[in-house]
């Protein structure tokens, strides 16, 4: 499989979590490394730490064979739109903070940028993946750079100039997708960043991969427990805490983490540990099938053996010290 083939394959497999609320800030979910299923490499352990300021993950992988195996590892970020509210999650902060280490050594992953235009013929109930068309190759052939296509993530360029370049593109597919626009209009597109690196797993040995970054955090100016209860598994204890603090409709922050990529490896994760940290003066809630242990005033920890994640993680942080005037 050549580079274009594997990148296209994984882009079609990306899972994107999103959340929206009235008067809300947008956010989308990020997750762990993705990997083509290989019966020869297992994830021995995953130590995952999540807070609003940082996500860090420490993986131990084991090569189950007597030969070295070199594979391409991917870390796909979600698609982000060029048109968004000014209070959207800090996408540039994630890019600037993203780090990968292999056995303690800092790596510099390759950055791939993909661009998507809305499909005007998509059905109203089409999934997010089926409502856009990948136009990366066409736009690059028309002279647009990776930096320009990354504007939805960086927000550090003139969108009118980039829109004008897109409108001047003579590629038939691009022209058909932009036929509803007039000259001078701001073009709407979505950009996705995918990090990749070549990883060698030594024969019958443990390889440690660690990455960390600033998460995409969103939220809302007011909580409505009846609407958000299912998403964040708000139990009776959490609701009682809201009532005690008179915070039933307090502002909140939220983030998503894609856990399900951990099921892509040869075996279930032998040892999985998750630590969630909240700030003082906050209540936190999320869905977890198992015991949740409070290990400090602000940290909660969970662990499982032979874990095969089937769903992703949505976490809500409610500010109980906010008071409406």
DSSP secondary structure string for all residues of 162-179: HHHHHHT---HHHHHHTT
Query: Which residues of the chain register pLDDT less than 50?
Result: 1-29
Distances (CA, A) of 198 to 35, 36, 66, 131: 11, 13, 19, 31
* Residue 37 pLDDT: 65
Distance CA 236, CA 217 (A): 25
* Residue 226 pLDDT: 75
CATH code, 3-319:
2.60.40.3680
Phi, psi of 232 (to 5 degrees): -110, 10
* Residue 33 pLDDT: 54
pTM exceeds cut of 0.85: no
Phi, psi of 217 (to 5 degrees): -110, 130
Report yes or no: 46 and 32 within 8 Å, Cβ to Cβ.
Answer: yes
* Residue 247 pLDDT: 87
Distance CA 233, CA 216 (A): 20
Question: Of 115, 170, 167, which Cα lies nearest the Cα of 145?
Answer: 115
What are the structural domain ranges in the chain? 3-319
Read off the pLDDT of residues 263-292 as tens digits, 9 standing for 90 and up: 667 788 999 999 999 999 999 999 999 999
Alpha-helical runs (H) found in 155-296:
159-167, 172-177, 225-232, 236-244
Distance CA 76, CA 193 (A): 6
* Residue 323 pLDDT: 58
């Amino acid at each position: 499989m050549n580079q274009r083939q594997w990148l296209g394959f994984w882009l079609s497999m990306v899972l994107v979590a999103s959340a929206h609320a009235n008067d809300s800030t947008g956010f989308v979910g990020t997750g762990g490394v993705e990997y083509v299923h290989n019966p020869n490499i297992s994830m021995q352990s995953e130590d995952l730490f999540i807070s609003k300021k940082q996500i860090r993950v420490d993986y131990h992988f084991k090569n189950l064979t007597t030969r070295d195996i070199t594979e391409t590892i991917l870390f796909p970020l979600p698609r982000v739109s060029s048109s968004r509210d000014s209070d959207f999650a800090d996408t540039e902060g994630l890019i600037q903070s993203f780090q990968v280490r292999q056995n303690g050594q800092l790596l510099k992953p390759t950055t791939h940028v993909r661009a998507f235009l809305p499909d005007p013929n998509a059905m109203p109930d089409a999934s997010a993946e089926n409502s856009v068309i990948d136009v990366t190759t066409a736009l690059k052939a028309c002279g647009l750079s990776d930096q320009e296509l990354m504007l939805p993530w960086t927000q550090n360029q003139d969108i009118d100039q980039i829109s004008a370049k897109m409108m001047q593109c003579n590629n038939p597919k691009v022209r058909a997708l932009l036929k509803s626009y007039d000259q001078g209009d701001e073009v709407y597109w979505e950009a996705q960043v995918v990090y990749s690196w070549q990883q060698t797993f030594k024969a019958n040995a443990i390889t440690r991969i660690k990455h960390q970054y600033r998460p995409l955090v969103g939220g809302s100016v007011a909580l409505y427990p009846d609407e958000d209860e299912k998403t964040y598994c708000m139990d009776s204890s959490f609701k009682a805490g809201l009532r005690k603090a008179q915070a039933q409709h307090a502002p909140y922050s939220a983030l998503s983490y894609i856990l399900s990529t951990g099921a892509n490896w040869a075996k279930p994760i032998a040892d999985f540990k998750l630590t969630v940290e909240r700030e003082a003066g906050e209540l936190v809630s999320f869905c977890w099938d198992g015991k949740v242990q409070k290990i400090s005033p602000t940290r909660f920890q969970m662990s499982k053996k032979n874990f095969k994640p089937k769903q992703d993680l949505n976490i809500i942080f409610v500010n109980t010290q906010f008071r409406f005037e």
